[in-house]
Amino acid sequence: MDLSRFPRRRYTAFATPIEPMPRFSAAVAASCPGGVGPEVWIKRDDMLGLFPGGNKTRKLEFLVADALEQGADTLVTCGAPQSNHCRITLAAAVKEGLKCRFVIEERVPGSFHEDATGNHFMFRLMGVEAMTVVPGGSNMVAAMNQVADDVAALGRKAYIIPGGGSNALGGLGYVACAQELQQQMLELGLPMDRVVLGSGSSGTHGGMLAGFLGNHIQIPIVGIGVSRDPQDQEPLVLREAQAVLDLLGVPMTVPPESVLSVGGYWQPKYSISNPAMVEAIQMLARTEGIPLDPVYTGKVMAGLIGLARKGFFKPNERILFLHTGGLPAIHAYEREILGGAEALT
């Protein structure tokens, strides 16, 4: 799969590390059937560039390069009030000398606060030019187009980046990740039995799946839904993976059975805390010293732990957890994460 024909900005000068997590694996195994669980490793995409990085960094390497090719001077994108994607898009804009505007979707009524911490603090610190707040369920494409028109009225040129950077061009970032992972497994002599990652706007899951299929990487991917259950999530992933393969000119149809997502761990709602997420964040922090975020990776790790306890993974199966970042958001949830600390210790 040749990515060299696509313009690309490089925001990370190294392959993100793959690390063992023996103490975390032992903690998970203690609550698994027979006291035996999977061997969990982690790929540190939280260490990607545009600090503090995350999975959106890989997508933006291709999206921002396209914006620059088109002569844009302003990036326009959308997300929730604590959007990692918005924060990293803004960081890319600052790095490239561009302006940046957001459409913020208040998916949970009353969740947008002008003085919020976490990612919202980063928005203000890095100088977002404008934020338009709309109610949950709004037509985000129409809202971003209106912002682009406002930019044009100022004699400037906007480039619209979809939520999560999730389109075929952005998905190339996780084709690149798949190739990076393939090379690392070869160099380390470290084959993986399964990859577990978050499945939300579908760009990461779909791009990684396309990369695995196109590069003949025979490792199942389990996507833990962060906003939808499988009946709604899997069609999105299937379409994204197919769009990425089509963009690359790969004559392949994505097999529906290659798309696997797991639901339930995101509930009661997107970005709303639950006990399993709190337990997962505390467990990883207290066994390996690695923080997760409460909206995405915390719920994804809760899914991994839950599946292990149900016997979904084979004993000692080697699992690679993809850490997609999101660290700043944890500061907006400090009370929820530590409030139940005594009960979960």
Domain boundaries defined on the chain: 18-54+167-344, 56-165
- Please, what is the Cα angle at 39 between 36 and 45, to 5 degrees? 145
Q: What pLDDT is stored for residue 124 in this prediction? A: 96
What pTM was computed for the model?
Answer: 0.95
Q: Please state, in angstroms and rounded to a whole number, the distance separating the CA atoms of residues 324 and 55.
A: 5
Cα separation, 58 vs 114, whole angstroms: 29
Spatial contact of 313 and 270, defined as CB atoms under 8 Å apart:
no
Write the pLDDT tens digit of every residue in 305-322.
999 999 999 999 999 999
Average pLDDT rounded to a whole number, residues 169-195: 98
pLDDT of 342 above 80: no
> Are 8 and 65 spatial neighbours (Cβ–Cβ below 8 Å)?
yes
Measured on CA atoms in the order 235, 239, 240, 244, is the torsion positive or negative?
A: positive
Q: Give the pLDDT of residue 340.
A: 52
SS3 of the chain: helix, strand, coil, percent, to 5:
50, 15, 35
Q: Quick one: which H or E segment has residue 194?
A: strand 194-199
CATH C-level class of 18-54+167-344 = alpha beta
pLDDT at residue 99 greater than cutoff 60: yes
The pLDDT assigned to 66 comes to: 98
Catalytic residue among 83, 199, 201, 227: 83
Under CATH, to which class is 56-165 assigned?
alpha beta
End-to-end Cα distance, the chain: 47
- Domain 18-54+167-344 matches domain 56-165 at the CATH topology level: yes
Identify whether 273 is a catalytic site residue. Answer: no
Question: Where would I find the H helices in the chain?
Answer: 22-29, 55-69, 84-96, 119-126, 140-153, 168-188, 203-214, 230-248, 275-288, 297-309, 334-339, 341-344
